[in-house]
């Protein structure tokens, strides 16, 4: 099994780099990692809490300055259907720029709600989108093949949960896909990360073992499928999920673990997702989430 898997990896490596592109992607990685500090809700001061002065500058940037700096820049009002009555989300701005072979397409979602937790998410999104725009303006060149796109999607807006997903994709010499998923527990008015659902850290080993099982099974069923697990290149092997691993709930109420492109597999595999049956981890769930 290891020999066949290593042969598949070597074949895949020839067709696509196994490491994520640098430069712009590195900046995005750092920004997304820094935003993790805000997950604890309104009782903790967020790492990037926007001051009144900064917020005012953002308003001027988005509403006044950007629409006038280039004839190639346009904005469009776009709504996302609202399901719940407590929290809703709409895309109020879309920022598009094209200069030669460089192109930027950014959706800026805003959660419209009076609770402080939603405002923390809004602050995070503002910080991320501003950094993306700033970095793009530094990197863009008519001769550069650069494409940056940020899309947003409301995954859930139920009585108990509101989930907003951001998908950031970048294409240059290579390509990369990153995700940021926000979960608001409406009952607690609190941002929830994966570990907040469980009573102990044992859930990580439990879910990680199931992901490894699915990876191995997928490779045995399809020789074109390659994951970094149980191969001789130890540094590449997937070992465990993080306590703040990105996830969402499936229609059946199962946790779906989301990985970025290149995180657990070659780039040809895209951004893998693994649905974990609730029966596998329910013994570790907190009572309110069972």
pLDDT, one tens digit per residue, over 136-145 is: 999 888 888 8
Q: b vs e for 183-216, b when ≥16 Cβ sit within 10 Å of the residue's Cβ?
A: bbbbeebbbbbbbbbbeeeebbebbbebbbebbe
* CATH 3.30.1280.10 is held by the domain 24-192: no
Domain regions of the chain by residue span: 24-192, 196-289
In the block, residue with structure tokens 């409301």: 154
Q: Supply the CATH classification number for the domain 196-289.
A: 3.90.640.20
Question: Do 24-192 and 196-289 have matching folds?
Answer: no
pLDDT, one tens digit per residue, over 214-266 is: 999 999 999 999 999 987 888 889 999 999 999 999 999 999 999 999 999 99
Q: Compute the average pLDDT of residues 61-70.
A: 38
Residue pair 203/195 in contact (Cβ under 8 Å)? The answer is yes
pLDDT at 203: 97
């Amino acid at each position: 099994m290891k020999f066949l898997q290593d042969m598949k990896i070597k074949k895949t490596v020839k067709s696509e780099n196994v490491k994520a592109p640098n430069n712009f992607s590195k900046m995005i990685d750092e920004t997304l990692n820094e935003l993790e500090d805000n997950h604890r809700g309104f009782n903790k001061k967020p790492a990037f809490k926007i001051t009144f002065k900064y917020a005012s500058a953002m308003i001027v940037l988005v509403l006044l300055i950007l629409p006038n700096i280039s004839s190639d820049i346009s904005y469009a009002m776009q709504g996302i259907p609202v399901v719940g009555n407590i929290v809703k989300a709409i895309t109020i701005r879309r920022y598009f720029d094209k200069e030669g072979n460089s192109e930027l397409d950014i959706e800026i979602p805003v959660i419209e709600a009076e609770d402080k937790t939603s405002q923390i998410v809004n602050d995070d999104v503002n910080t991320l989108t501003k950094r993306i725009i700033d970095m793009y303006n530094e990197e863009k060149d008519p001769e550069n093949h650069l494409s940056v796109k940020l899309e947003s999607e409301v995954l859930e807006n139920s009585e108990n949960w509101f989930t907003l997903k951001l998908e950031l994709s970048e294409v240059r010499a290579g390509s990369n896909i990153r995700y940021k998923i926000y979960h608001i527990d409406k009952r607690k008015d609190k941002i929830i990360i994966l570990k907040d659902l469980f009573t102990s850290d044992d859930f990580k080993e439990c879910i990680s073992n199931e992901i490894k099982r699915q990876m191995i099974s997928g490779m045995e069923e399809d020789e074109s499928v390659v994951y970094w697990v149980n191969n001789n290149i130890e540094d590449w092997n997937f070992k465990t999920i993080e306590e703040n691993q990105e996830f969402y709930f499936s229609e059946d109420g199962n946790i779906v673990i989301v990985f970025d492109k290149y995180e657990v597999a070659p780039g040809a595999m895209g951004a893998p997702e693994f649905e974990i049956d609730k029966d596998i981890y329910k013994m570790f769930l907190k009572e309110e989430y069972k």
